[in-house]
Amino acid sequence: MIRHSLEVKLAAFLAEYAPAEAAASWLVAISGGADSMALLYGLVRLRDQSPGIAGLHVGHVNHQLRGTDSDGDAEFVAEHAEKLGLPCTIEKADVASAMRESGESLETAARKLRHRLLSDIAHRTGCTIIALAHTADDQAETVLHRLLRGTGLRGLAGIAPRREQDNLTLLRPLLAVSRREVEDYLAALDIPCRTDASNARLDHTRNRLRHELLPLLRANYNPNINDALTQLASIARDTQEIIAADVGELLGALVKSSTPRRLVLHRTALKQLPRIQQVQVLHACMDRLSLPQRDITFSHFNSVLDLIANETSVLPVLNWPGNWRLSREGDNLILDHCPPPKPVMQPALPDVPLNIPGTTTIPIGYLYFDAADGQTRPLAMITIECHERTSVSDVAIFANPEPKAVWLDADAVAGNRLILRTRQAGDRLHALGSPGSKTLGDFLTDHKAPIADRDRLGLVCDEAGIIWLPALTLTERVKVIPSTTRLLRLSVHKKE
Strand, helix or coil for residue 466: strand
Long-range pairs for 90-94 at CB < 8 Å and ≥24 separation?
Answer: 90/59, 90/60, 90/61, 90/62, 91/59, 91/60, 91/61, 91/62, 91/117, 91/120, 91/121, 92/61, 92/62, 92/64, 93/61, 93/62, 93/63, 93/64, 93/117, 94/64
Residue closest to 449 by CA, chosen among 282, 295, 283: 295
Q: For residue 222, what are the CA distances in angstroms to 175, 178, 227, 229?
A: 21, 16, 10, 11
What are the boundaries of each domain within the chain? 5-133+173-221, 247-337, 352-494
Sign of the torsion formed by the C-alpha atoms of 342, 345, 351 and 352: negative
Paired strand residues for 459: 421
Third-level CATH fold of 247-337: 3.30.465
| pLDDT value of residue 423 | 92
Query: How far apart, in whole angstroms, are the C-alpha atoms of residue 200 and residue 215?
Result: 14
The CATH architecture annotation of domain 5-133+173-221 reads 3-Layer(aba) Sandwich (3.40)
Q: What is the DSSP string of 85-106?
A: T--EEEEE--HHHHHHHH---H
- The helix (run of H) or strand (run of E) holding residue 379 is strand 375-388
Q: What are the phi and psi torsion angles at 433 (to 5°)?
A: 85, -5
Closest CA to 308 of 341, 330, 283, 340: 330
Closest among 425, 435, 421, 426 to 467, alpha carbons compared? 421
198, 35 Cβ separation under 8 angstroms: no
CB contact at 8 A, 441 and 487: no
Provide the pLDDT for residue 450: 79
Element (H, E) at 16: helix 5-17
Strands, E assignment, 108-227: 129-131, 162-165, 168-171
Residue 87: predicted pLDDT:
96
Collapsed DSSP state (helix, strand, coil) of residue 329? strand
**Cβ(107)–Cβ(54) below 8 Å:** no
- Which strand (E) or helix (H) includes residue 406? strand 405-409
pLDDT in tens, the chain (496 residues): 568 999 999 999 999 998 877 789 999 999 999 999 999 999 999 999 999 899 999 999 998 887 888 899 999 999 999 999 999 999 998 887 777 676 667 777 888 899 999 999 999 999 999 999 999 999 999 999 989 877 888 889 999 999 988 889 999 999 999 999 999 999 999 999 998 877 777 767 888 999 999 999 999 999 999 999 999 999 999 998 888 888 888 888 899 888 888 999 999 999 999 998 898 899 889 888 887 777 787 778 888 898 898 877 656 788 887 778 888 888 889 998 877 655 555 567 899 999 999 999 999 889 998 877 677 888 999 999 999 999 998 888 887 667 688 999 999 999 889 999 999 988 999 988 888 888 998 888 888 787 778 889 999 999 999 999 998 889 999 999 999 999 999 998 765 5
Q: Environment class of residue 329 by beta-carbon count within 10 Å: exposed (0-12), middle (13-18) or buried (19+)? A: exposed
The closest of 454, 385, 467, 489 to 418, measured between CA atoms, is 467
Using CA atoms, how far residue 397 sits from 359, 405, 472, 494, in Å, is 20, 10, 16, 22
Q: Distance between CA 89 and CA 87 in Å, rounded?
A: 7
Residues whose CB falls within 8 Å of the CB of residue 343, separated by 6 or more in sequence, listed in order:
none
